[in-house]
Amino acid sequence: MRNTGKNSGQRSKKFALINQGCRLNAAESQRIAQELQKKGWILSSPQEAPWVIINTCTVTHRADADLRKIVRKIQRENPTARIVALGCYVDHHGEVPGTYLSLPNPRKMEVVEVLEEVDRGRIARWKSRGFLKVQEGCDLACTYCIIPRVRGPSRSLPWAEIERRMEDFLVLGYQEVVITGIHLESYGRDLGEKSGFLNLLQRLEAFYPPVRFRISSLDPRFLTRELLAYILSAPHIMPGFHLSLQHYSPRILRLMGRGSNRGFMEILEEIRATRPEAGLGTDFIVGFPTETEEDFLLLYRFAGEAPFSYFHVFSFSPRKGTRAAEIRPRVPERISKKRSALLRELGRRKKEEFARAMVGKTLEATVIKEGEALSENYLKVKFDEKLPPGNRFLFKIEELRFPYLVGNPQE
Ligand code: SF4
């Protein structure tokens, strides 16, 4: 690490923060931003801040390439900036070229020490919603996933620490908090709790009644009857659910190390029947090694019939060090791309159909920036009035200008 030099003036007290990747990273970035600001640092832009922190992701090769692009852009636009890279890229590949300092996941929070100034300053909101990371790591072994190796086994944030973070969020006025983690249903196991995640949601409901919580993602294989019944009835849980399914062909799911598709459709139908307005999404991986036309058709039919309001489609990309990277034959890129495009088009149609059904309804949404809010069921709402970011309002939905809803805030 080079000498930063003390007392280098006001400019040295500014930092910028760029988040790559998942909501878990977003939660950590938010934490870092808050800790720095508590110590007097001022959040600024990558073009003018003398410190630019990048919380990196390495889920795909594309993320790696994006990171290198980001570093080059900062070097061009702000040549004297000290760039600090944190997290997954560093764990996986080591130091990021062109950075002042690279810190792996376990040492991420040291960045606060590295940048610390004695002055105390004002804390500003880094985003319009709070991101509460309650769990880290994963005990499972999906064959395409590098996360258990990169982030280690499941660890849960103890309640006392969650309370501390929630207090910060309340001070900052967050009205919506996204609960994030790598595998949320593992929450509490390492603390000796059997239904840890359900207990956590119940506690959050009891302690923070004004806040509405969004659950970032759930694994259908671990969604117990009690947990499902609770999230469908609890008023503080937003009706927007993301289930990680990845595929529907039993053969591909087995090769992915994710068991079978048992119960997928039943869970989705139960959510739709209980909460007709609920956002319901998933991720699909297309072109997994050995995927046949028949496997893909099973997935395509399921995606069409299930009551999804959206889904994300990823083309399989082998990660070195995973078992899936060794499975042959690989699906030729041309075929994988074709299948992805077909599925994405289906996803677009389903999203549009769901969004159209919202016209005429009233939805609660959190303002995320000027003129734009995110609805409780995960649709973007455009509006004309000036409303404060971070606050929740009810919007009467007037029309669809896909992919946006257009709404009017209600008194
Ligand atoms: S559940 Fe599977 S995909 Fe998710 S983090 Fe764990 S190993 Fe990776």
pLDDT at 123 over 50: no
Q: Is residue 1 part of a domain?
A: no
- What mean pLDDT, rounded, does the chain reach? 89
The proportion of the chain whose per-residue pLDDT surpasses 70, expressed as a percent, equals 93
Contact 15, 49 (CB under 8 A): yes
Number of domains forming the structure of the chain:
3
Q: Which residues form ligand 1's pocket by a CB distance below 6 Å?
A: 138, 140-142, 145, 147-148, 182-183
The verdict on 36 and 103 lying in the same domain is yes
The verdict on 189 and 155 lying in the same domain is yes
pLDDT at 389 over 60: yes
The verdict on 182 and 35 lying in the same domain is no
pLDDT at 118 over 70: no
The verdict on 264 and 283 lying in the same domain is yes
Domain stop point among 314, 341, 356: 356
Q: Is residue 268 part of a domain?
A: yes
CA of 271 to the centre of ligand 1 (A): 23
Q: Is residue 91 part of a domain?
A: yes
Q: Is residue 120 part of a domain?
A: no
State which ligand 1 atom lies nearest to the alpha carbon of 258. Answer: 2
Contacts of 315 (CB under 8 A, 6+ apart): 285, 286, 287, 333, 336, 337, 340
Supply the pLDDT for residue 12.
65
Q: Is residue 78 part of a domain?
A: yes
Q: Is residue 192 part of a domain?
A: yes
Q: What is the pLDDT of residues 165-177, one digit of tens each?
A: 888 888 777 889 9
Q: Residue 79 belongs to a domain with what CATH number?
A: 3.40.50.2300
Q: What is the pLDDT of residues 54-70, one digit of tens each?
A: 999 876 667 778 888 89
CA of 261 to the centre of ligand 1 (A): 16
User: Encoding tokens for residue 147?
Assistant: 């996360």
The verdict on 139 and 94 lying in the same domain is no
Supply the pLDDT for residue 119.
38
Cα–Cα separations (whole angstroms), residue 119 to 39, 48, 168, 243? 6, 20, 19, 44
Q: Is residue 404 part of a domain?
A: yes
Mark 22-52 as b/e (b = at least 16 C-beta within 10 Å). Answer: bbbbbbbbbbbbbbbbebebbbbebeebbbb
Mean of pLDDT values over 127-156: 93
pLDDT at 85 over 50: yes
Domain span holding position 401: 362-409
> 63-72, 141-150, 317-326: which has the minimum mean pLDDT?
63-72
Mutate which of 22, 145, 186 for ligand 1? The one with the most ligand atoms within 8 Å of its CB, which is 145
What are the start-end ranges of the H helices in 95-143?
A: 110-115
The verdict on 137 and 97 lying in the same domain is no
Look-up: residue for tokens 């040549």?
A: 79
Q: Beta-strand (E) ranges in 218-290?
A: 240-246, 279-286
How many angstroms from the chain centroid is the CA of residue 66? 17
Other beta carbons within 10 Å of 303: 21
Q: Is residue 24 part of a domain?
A: yes
The verdict on 286 and 405 lying in the same domain is no
Mutate which of 147, 243, 253 for ligand 1? The one with the most ligand atoms within 8 Å of its CB, which is 147
The verdict on 183 and 324 lying in the same domain is yes
